[in-house]
Amino acid sequence: MKNFSYYTPTRVVFGKGAELQTGELIKAQGAKKALIHYGGGSVKRTGLLERICQSLDDAGVEYVLLGGVVPNPRMSKVYEGIELCRREGVDFLLPVGGGSVIDSAKAIGYGLCYDGDVWDFYAKKAVPKACAPIGAVLTLSAAGSEMSDSSVLTNEEGWLKRGCNSDLCRCRFAVMNPELTYTLPPYQTACGATDILMHTMERYFTREPDTSLTDALAEGLMRTVIESARTALRDPQNYDARAQIMWAGSLSHNGLTGCGTVGDWASHQLEHELGGMFDVAHGAGLAAIWGSWARYVYKEDPARFAQFAVNVLGCKNDFADPRRTALRGIEAMEDFYRSIGMPTNLRELGVEPTEEQFRELAYKCSFQNTRTIGSFKVLNIDDIEAIYRMAK
């Protein structure tokens, strides 16, 4: 087991009606004026935005509103938010939504404390030194951004999708009411479950030995998400299933399931370029690329994939041939993705890259052929292009 630092400063307020505490939670942070940041019209249609505003009114916290965040959040909205917050004297950021809204708020938080272009942090030209305080009201179980140190943004100039990681952006609190996810379309529920699973799998597929406790935590989380996703898709208002998925989303990306391991993250890097170029849903893009990545790398440690197959997916263990068990597990994972309406290749994702686009995807993913990705198997630009092509 590797040395590790586990840091989770976010206060979680979980359960029915939890959003009604939002105003007091912000007031306890000493804030005077908040930006309520959100996406489309669902927070208005469901009455959630009205309840949030009333909660802030009751707590004596002023606020301004900024909606319009889209999936694969854009830098243009971040710039708009920074300008609005500076003009209005905002001292606290309250994203109300899923990972895209929270990631957008994190970027705004960085930008409020920086004199340069906030994209510098995502382009790896600078490192954040400060971030405005953030608290989140979660409406979509997926990205885990409410408890993570990461945010991912898309820059329309070049359509580059890049991430920034820093403990500075961790939310002060996360309000999580599973009832707020009842109205999600089935596709979004499935994308969210996929993202949660992939956050765990990126950490689980490690070459580090002696991680039995962390493995057990990860395996239990993945089994729970698989079972609960099926239940939630059959019965969208099943509170227990929604609650399991929501809590798993936070635990999958707050570092717990990666303690003592070395994460891989190649599938996420591969998907980021698909999202940047084709604007696909993040969870769906991950499902479409994962099987090809897995088949490309599993021979590096077939026993690890066999363990995943047996302990997570219930495959029979062929003790004489771990490679066969490993492949059964990959197939079983793809079967699960199909069962919840997720794609398992680019064609099913609705994407058919040209020859030039395959090369461009690999070139961008390798940062113009200046980096490798992954740790389970280190992948160079040629490996990256091969995986994209396998996924077609």
Task: Let me know if residue 374 belongs to a domain.
Answer: yes
Task: Let me know if residue 358 belongs to a domain.
Answer: yes
Domain residue limits at 208: 184-390
Final residue belonging to a domain, choices 180, 208, 235:
180
Contacts of 334 (CB under 8 A, 6+ apart): 291, 344
pLDDT for res 170 = 98
Q: Are residues 170 and 264 in the same domain?
A: no
Are 67 and 38 in contact by the 8 Å Cβ rule? The answer is yes
3 SS3 class:
coil
Q: Are residues 217 and 136 in the same domain?
A: no
pLDDT in tens, 19-45: 999 999 999 999 999 999 999 889 999
CB-facing half-sphere around the CA of 302: CA atoms within 13 A? 13
Query: Considering the chain, what is the average pLDDT of its residues?
Result: 97
Question: Which residue reads 């909606």 in tokens?
Answer: 67
Q: Are residues 60 and 192 in the same domain?
A: no
pLDDT for res 233 = 98
Q: Are residues 276 and 363 in the same domain?
A: yes
User: Distance between CA 385 and CA 137 in Å, rounded?
Assistant: 38
pLDDT in tens, 75-115: 999 999 999 999 999 999 999 999 999 999 999 999 999 99
Q: How many residues in total does the chain contain?
A: 392
pLDDT in tens, 152-195: 999 999 999 999 999 999 999 999 999 999 999 999 999 999 99
Q: Are residues 201 and 281 in the same domain?
A: yes
Q: Are residues 270 and 169 in the same domain?
A: no
pLDDT for res 361 = 98
CB-facing half-sphere around the CA of 360: CA atoms within 13 A? 13
pLDDT for res 311 = 98
Q: Dihedral of CA 67/83/94/166: which sign?
A: positive
Which residue(s) pair with 14 in the sheet? 176
pLDDT for res 75 = 97
Q: Are residues 252 and 359 in the same domain?
A: yes
- Give the count of beta carbons closer than 10 Å to the beta carbon of residue 32: 13
pLDDT at 142 over 90: yes
**DSSP character string of 57-116:** HHHT-EEEEE----SS-BHHHHHHHHHHHHHHT--EEEEEESHHHHHHHHHHHHHHT-SS
Q: Dihedral of CA 9/11/14/20: which sign?
A: negative
Final residue belonging to a domain, choices 180, 206, 225:
180
Task: Let me know if residue 4 belongs to a domain.
Answer: no
User: Would you call 286 exposed, middle or buried from its count of C-beta atoms within 10 A (0-12, 13-18, 19+)?
Assistant: buried
Are 141 and 246 in contact by the 8 Å Cβ rule? The answer is yes
Task: Let me know if residue 3 belongs to a domain.
Answer: no
Average pLDDT of the residues in 305-323: 97
Average pLDDT of the residues in 270-292: 97
186 SS3 class:
helix
Nearest to 358 by CA among 279, 268, 284, 278: 278
Task: Let me know if residue 5 belongs to a domain.
Answer: no
Q: Are residues 260 and 357 in the same domain?
A: yes
Task: Let me know if residue 112 belongs to a domain.
Answer: yes
Are 8 and 147 in contact by the 8 Å Cβ rule? The answer is yes
Q: Are residues 259 and 169 in the same domain?
A: no
Pairing of strands 150-155, 135-138: unpaired
pLDDT for res 91 = 98
354 SS3 class:
coil
Q: Are residues 146 and 217 in the same domain?
A: no
pLDDT in tens, 339-358: 999 999 999 999 999 999 99
pLDDT in tens, 211-270: 999 999 999 999 999 999 999 999 999 999 999 999 999 999 999 999 999 999 999 999
**What values do phi and psi take at 49, rounded to 5?**
-60, -40
Read off the CATH number of the domain in which 55 is found. 3.40.50.1970
Q: Are residues 203 and 301 in the same domain?
A: yes
Contacts of 355 (CB under 8 A, 6+ apart): none
Q: Dihedral of CA 249/254/256/260: which sign?
A: positive
Q: Are residues 37 and 76 in the same domain?
A: yes
Task: Let me know if residue 208 belongs to a domain.
Answer: yes
Task: Let me know if residue 250 belongs to a domain.
Answer: yes
Contacts of 59 (CB under 8 A, 6+ apart): 23, 24, 26, 27
Read off the CATH number of the domain in which 188 is found. 1.20.1090.10
pLDDT for res 41 = 84
pLDDT for res 351 = 97
Final residue belonging to a domain, choices 153, 180, 207:
180
pLDDT for res 40 = 86
The domain tally of the chain equals 2
